[in-house]
């Protein structure tokens, strides 16, 4: 079994979620149908809604089920923008942190390109914390022109927790609604939707031991939102589409699990994380922990830059040694690019290329940390060597031969 240190990407399905999922998958019934099968499915969905509402500190009517974090972010950002602009065409500004997940970042950029949005990127400091005075000044500059503010609860790459409560205070003082992507925070931090004052908040199932393909947008009862997806009018007419009873039940089972003893579990994971961070810095003193220290970051997040090596090489070598990690920034089949989060934090491209993220979660144990600490020194040494390669070739090629003086051929 490899040591799985990539819980920020996805988590193993919890036993409770698996049981709920398989139980419900075996049953028939559309929650919108009025007959017995439909009523039974509806009951399951509404039970789940109450569970998730309780876990997230919201009223059940504030839970809009979606297909996951990306959809929730799209729905919130586009929906708020359109609804606010419809009320007043002058509201075209979006204030968005520079370290958002691509689900928010690219949605905002899309609105800028296609829907006339004017975007102001909120800068962050060296630890990745959003600049509140900057936000305050931007709000004060033209409060009537701002459609929404979106700032994530905790960063998916470097784990930095944002001052969401302060963001809400400032925005609300200016009469502007706030969305927060809490996909990474929910389940690891005490996230309470109502106490936060947020107008909209995205959460996801598979980051907390639930299945992939289900999530929710928590949406304040008074908040107006223009739907992105049209159809049968489910979910307050905000998100049409047949409800996925099985996934929703499993999502709720996972949410109930992670919020049963939140403080204990967070303390357990944070202790593991601290041992991981200390162990890495002890073995590789030149490694730099990125993001906020201690209580300022997600309990399960450890993110480093390793000088002189490419994150890709390190990932590959660790994978070979049975340790599963991430460079932190998403890259599908394209070309690996340095993380926008690290660049926003002021790192140069070369430093940012040496990023490696280790994330712990409900399935993590001491053995996972041990496996990383055992494999890392060799992997780092090799990755550094490979990082040096390719600048000036040491392999004899036709070109290097031609440059040599005759007689030495």
Which residues, 363 to 382, sit near another protein by CB under 8 A?
Answer: 382
| Structure-token pair, residue 119 | 């975007």
Alpha-carbon 371 to chain mean position: 25
Does residue 34 belong to the site contacting another protein (CB under 8 A)?
no
Judged by CB under 8 A, the stretch of 123-131, 173-181, 241-249, 394-402 that binds another protein is: 394-402
Q: How far apart are CA 189 and CA 375, in angstroms?
A: 30
Which residues, in sequence order, are CB contacts of 110 under 8 Å at separation 6+?
none
Of these, 331, 350, 365, 377, which contacts another protein (CB under 8 A)?
Answer: 331
Active site residue 331: yes
Q: How far is the CB of 324 from another protein (least distance, A)?
A: 11
Does residue 317 belong to the site contacting another protein (CB under 8 A)?
yes
Count of residues that interact with another protein, criterion CB under 8 A: 34
Decide whether 19 or 374 has the Cβ nearer to another protein. 374
Q: How far is the CB of 338 from another protein (least distance, A)?
A: 11
- Quick check: helix, strand or coil at residue 161? strand
- Quick check: helix, strand or coil at residue 51? helix
Which residues, 108 to 137, sit near another protein by CB under 8 A?
Answer: none
Decide whether 26 or 395 has the Cβ nearer to another protein. 395
Q: Which residue has the tokens 């399960």?
A: 300
Q: How far is the CB of 312 from another protein (least distance, A)?
A: 6
Of these, 60, 123, 163, 336, which contacts another protein (CB under 8 A)?
Answer: 336
Judged by CB under 8 A, the stretch of 74-82, 105-113, 278-286, 391-399 that binds another protein is: 391-399
Of these, 312, 339, 355, 358, which contacts another protein (CB under 8 A)?
Answer: 312
Site string for another protein, 224-243 (x = CB under 8 A): --------------------
Nearest of 154, 94, 156, 113 to residue 130 by alpha carbon: 154
How many angstroms separate the Cα of 37 from the Cα of each of 29, 41, 162? 5, 6, 44
Q: How far apart are CA 112 and CA 291, in angstroms?
A: 28
Q: How far apart are CA 151 and CA 146, in angstroms?
A: 14
Q: From the CA atom positions of the chain, what is the Rg in Å?
A: 23
Q: How far apart are the first and last CA of the chain?
A: 51
The 10 Å Cβ neighbour count of residue 96 is: 27
Q: How far is the CB of 406 from another protein (least distance, A)?
A: 5
Nearest of 298, 259, 230 to residue 57 by alpha carbon: 259
Q: Helices then strands (H, E): number in the chain?
A: 14, 12
Q: How far is the CB of 374 from another protein (least distance, A)?
A: 17
Of these, 196, 313, 356, 359, which contacts another protein (CB under 8 A)?
Answer: 313
Catalytic residue among 25, 267, 331, 367: 331
Give me the residues that bind another protein (CB under 8 A), please. Answer: 312-313, 316-317, 319-320, 331-337, 382-383, 385-386, 388-390, 393-399, 401-402, 404-407, 409
**Which of the residues are catalytic?**
331
């Amino acid at each position: 079994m490899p040591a799985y240190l990539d819980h920020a990407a996805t988590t193993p399905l919890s036993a409770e979620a698996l049981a709920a999922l398989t139980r419900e998958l075996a049953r028939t019934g559309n929650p919108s149908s009025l007959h017995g099968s439909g009523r039974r499915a509806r009951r399951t969905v509404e039970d789940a809604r109450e569970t998730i509402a309780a876990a997230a500190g919201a009223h059940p009517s504030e839970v809009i089920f979606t297909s996951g974090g990306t959809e929730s972010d799209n729905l919130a950002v586009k929906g708020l923008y359109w609804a606010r602009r419809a009320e007043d065409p002058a509201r075209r500004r979006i204030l968005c942190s520079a370290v958002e997940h691509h689900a928010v970042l690219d949605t905002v950029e899309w609105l800028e390109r296609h829907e006339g949005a004017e975007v102001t990127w909120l800068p962050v400091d060296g630890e990745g914390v959003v600049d509140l005075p900057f936000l305050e000044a931007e709000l004060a500059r033209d409060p009537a022109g701002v459609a929404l503010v979106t700032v994530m609860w905790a960063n998916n790459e470097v784990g930095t927790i944002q001052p969401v409560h302060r963001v809400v205070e400032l925005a609300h003082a200016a009469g502007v609604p706030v969305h927060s992507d809490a996909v990474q925070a929910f389940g690891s931090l005490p996230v309470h939707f109502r106490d936060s004052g947020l107008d909209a908040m995205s959460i996801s199932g598979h980051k907390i031991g639930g299945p992939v393909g289900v999530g929710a947008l928590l949406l304040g009862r008074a908040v107006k939102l223009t739907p992105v997806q049209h159809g049968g009018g489910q979910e307050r007419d905000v998100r049409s589409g047949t409800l996925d009873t099985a996934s929703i039940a499993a999502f709720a089972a996972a949410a109930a699990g992670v919020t049963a003893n939140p403080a204990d579990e967070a303390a357990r994971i944070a202790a593991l994380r601290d041992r991981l961070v200390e162990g890495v810095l002890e073995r590789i003193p030149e490694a730099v922990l990125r993001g906020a220290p201690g209580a300022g970051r997600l309990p399960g997040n450890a993110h480093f830059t390793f000088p002189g090596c490419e994150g890709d090489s390190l990932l590959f070598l660790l994978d070979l040694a049975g340790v599963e990690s991430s460079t932190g920034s998403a890259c599908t089949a394209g070309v690996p690019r340095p993380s926008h989060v690290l660049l926003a934090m002021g790192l140069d491209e070369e430093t940012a290329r040496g990023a490696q993220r280790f994330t712990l979660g409900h399935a993590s144990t001491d053995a996972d940390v041990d496996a990383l600490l055992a494999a890392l020194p060799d992997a780092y040494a090799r990755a550094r060597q490979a990082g040096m390669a390719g600048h000036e070739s040491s392999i004899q090629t036709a070109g290097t031969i031609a440059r040599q003086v005759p007689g030495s051929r």
